[in-house]
């Protein structure tokens, strides 16, 4: 059976300063429909964060339903499995679940009351399954642990980690008899796994108390032939285990995500159960996100000479300018430069000041260039809070106090809808 793993669509995302991504998402979904036909994909799996907020705009919902309706005309794709992510509202996704099930679209927005509803046999309605899916959505704190009076931050972290592992083990136990029959088993998840690149912390809020890296690849039972993960936007393998992977986001969702590819993963399962053959398919980029930096003259020249090539949509740029000129002049000349590009490029972030590390003494190793400060839209509340705790004003705080404050703040974030 051929399965396509994707995640983190974030339909309805409003980019920096309110710029919408609807056109790019439409291009991606059109490409996805075409790819499903060309690659004879039988099952589509979406591992969370279908929408960017719990209350997506009407245009994003229409795009979602139009895509699913178009998919029903597919000659090969007979089933779709969609699970909720931390940006999704379980209620919003589940509102149409009963109707979509009639179209063989299986939606699990949150942990269901009937536990075995997370266990999906495919093809739907077949006497003998060729694949079973453990459709595990984003696991919220209340789904996997109960409050214990007097426990400290480390104990809460351990109980949460153990609760997530126990949830996956319980699902695996429900599917054991399929493995004994030689039916491949795929599991989904929307979480942060240990051993992954952490640059996504700028754009994704932590999902757990304390440290982000709370779950290791070994926490997923060996029964699962493949674990399709969402949440991190960089495609990657978890803990060196080829069977546990993030597909990554199909479009770059911030300027910090332009250094890695946008992909979906094509899986080919054989009868008998084993890690599937995995092929990464690059998603065509329809809009470039650029970081332009230098003196005012250098930035103006970069804007004037930029060639948007074959990209369907104008490029979006973040501009960082070395200090030295009156800032009103910088803003005016940068604006004039991009307005004269005739729609090839648009500055959506900045201009902002950019400073480099001071030059090192002669003969000493060259100092690394200071990274640009992230734009406010690329920071999460947790990152800002952590930076506050690391500031000199709170240097006297002990590690236990810091851990307790982070734990309390993380609980506050989880009680606040993601917007």
φ/ψ (deg, to 5) at 33? -60, -45
Q: How far is CA 383 from the centre of its chain?
A: 17
Angle at 170 between CA 164 and CA 174, to 5 degrees: 145
What is residue 208's predicted lDDT score, i.e. its pLDDT? 47
Tell me the C-alpha distance between 361 and 307, whole Å: 38
Supply the DSSP symbol for 380: -
For residue 21, give every residue at least 6 positions away whose Cβ sits within 8 Å of its Cβ, in sequence order, or none. 10, 13, 14, 15, 251
pLDDT of residue 360: 43
C-alpha of 15 from chain center? 15
Predicted confidence at residue 151, as pLDDT, reads 65
10-residue mean pLDDT profile of the chain (419 residues): values are 97 88 96 97 97 94 96 93 95 94 94 93 89 95 70 74 91 93 95 71 48 72 96 93 96 90 95 87 94 94 92 92 90 93 90 67 50 56 75 67 76 66
């Amino acid at each position: 059976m051929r399965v396509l793993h994707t995640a983190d669509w974030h339909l309805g995302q409003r980019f920096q300063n309110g710029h919408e991504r609807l056109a790019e998402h439409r291009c991606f979904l059109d490409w996805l429909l075409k790819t499903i036909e060309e690659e004879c994909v039988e099952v589509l799996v979406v591992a969370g964060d279908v929408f960017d907020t719990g209350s997506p705009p009407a245009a994003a919902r229409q795009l979602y339903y139009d895509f699913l309706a178009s998919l029903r005309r597919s000659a090969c794709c007979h089933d779709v499995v969609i699970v909720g992510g931390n940006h999704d509202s379980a209620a919003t996704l589940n509102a149409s679940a009963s109707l979509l099930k009639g179209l063989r679209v299986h939606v699990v927005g949150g942990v269901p009351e009937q536990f075995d509803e997370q266990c999906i046999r495919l093809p739907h309605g077949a006497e003998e399954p060729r694949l079973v899916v453990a459709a595990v959505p984003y696991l919220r704190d209340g789904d996997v642990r109960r409050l214990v009076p007097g426990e400290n931050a480390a104990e809460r972290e351990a109980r949460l980690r153990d609760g997530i592992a126990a949830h996956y083990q319980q699902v695996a136990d429900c599917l054991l008899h399929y493995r004994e029959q030689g039916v491949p088993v795929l599991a989904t998840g929307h979480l942060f796994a240990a051993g992954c690149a952490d640059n996504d912390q700028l754009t994704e809020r932590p999902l757990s108390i304390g440290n982000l890296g709370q779950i290791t690849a070994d926490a997923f039972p060996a029964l699962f032939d493949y674990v399709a993960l969402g949440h991190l936007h960089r495609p990657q393998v978890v803990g060196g285990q080829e069977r546990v992977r993030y597909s990554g986001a199909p479009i770059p969702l911030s300027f910090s995500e332009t250094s890695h590819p946008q992909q979906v993963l094509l899986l080919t399962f054989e009868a008998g159960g084993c890690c599937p053959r995995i092929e990464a398919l690059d998603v065509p980029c329809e809009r470039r996100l650029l970081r332009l930096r230098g003196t005012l003259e250098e930035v103006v020249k970069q804007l004037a000479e930029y060639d948007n090539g074959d990209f369907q949509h104008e490029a979006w740029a973040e501009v960082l300018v070395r200090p030295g000129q009156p800032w009103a002049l910088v803003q005016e000349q940068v604006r004039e430069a991009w307005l004269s590009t005739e729609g090839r490029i648009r500055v959506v972030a900045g201009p902002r000041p950019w400073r480099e590390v001071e030059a090192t003494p002669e003969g000493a190793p060259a100092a690394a260039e200071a990274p640009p400060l992230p734009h406010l839209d690329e920071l999460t509340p947790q990152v800002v809070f952590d930076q506050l705790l690391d500031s000199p004003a709170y240097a006297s705080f002990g590690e236990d106090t810091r851990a307790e404050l982070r734990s309390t703040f993380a609980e506050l974030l989880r009680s606040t809808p993601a917007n």
